[in-house]
Amino acid sequence: MKKNNKSFWPYGITIAILAVIAMSAGTIIVALKHPVQMDEAYLKKYQNVDNHINEIQKEQELFDKQYSVKIKTSQFKLGKNSLNIVVTDRYTDKIADNLTINVKITRPDDDRYDIKLNSKERDGKYIFPQFDITKPGRWFILVSISNAKISGYYKKEVDTK
């Protein structure tokens, strides 16, 4: 009797190599269809945050010692919305003045719907213009508050009705 000396190892290795190539191509196709949005949690480019995170965290600690920040919005509705932010000086218990407040309202997965708001100070209160929410779902309120010396950064997640 003659023995059959065929081996399936070459076929298995070839199939494995082709599978790795196919999975790599699939990963590239999925990545191109779903691009990564730039994270701007501190309202700065992530490279800048990455390079200066220690200074940002020290400033945040100093800011939190001096000021109390309340973002008084729990839910958005489709259509017109308003935003109310109260910043209180912890030492005097008065509403803080001479601050610059920048707000970005964004979706966590898409920056096409970003809304940027700048406040106007009037009688110690910070007033923001009304804005439209056009898409239901999760939204983030990203807030940057600064005085002449230090800055504080806040993030709040809000859903739509």
Please tell me the distance from the alpha carbon of residue 22 to that of residue 26, in angstroms, as a whole number: 6
Q: How many alpha carbons lie under 13 Å from residue 100 in its C-beta half-sphere?
A: 6
Q: Are 151 and 59 in contact (CB under 8 A)?
A: yes
Helix (H, G, I), strand (E, B) or coil at 1: coil
Structural domain spans, the chain: 7-36, 46-160
Strand (E) positions, the chain? 67-71, 75-76, 79-81, 85-89, 100-107, 110-118, 120-122, 125-127, 131-133, 138-146, 151-160
Write the CATH number of the domain with boundaries 46-160. Answer: 2.60.40.10
For 35-60, the pLDDT digits (tens) are 666 667 788 887 888 888 999 999 99
For 88-110, the pLDDT digits (tens) are 889 998 888 788 899 999 988 77
Percent over 90 (pLDDT), the chain = 34
What mean pLDDT do residues 8-23 have? 95
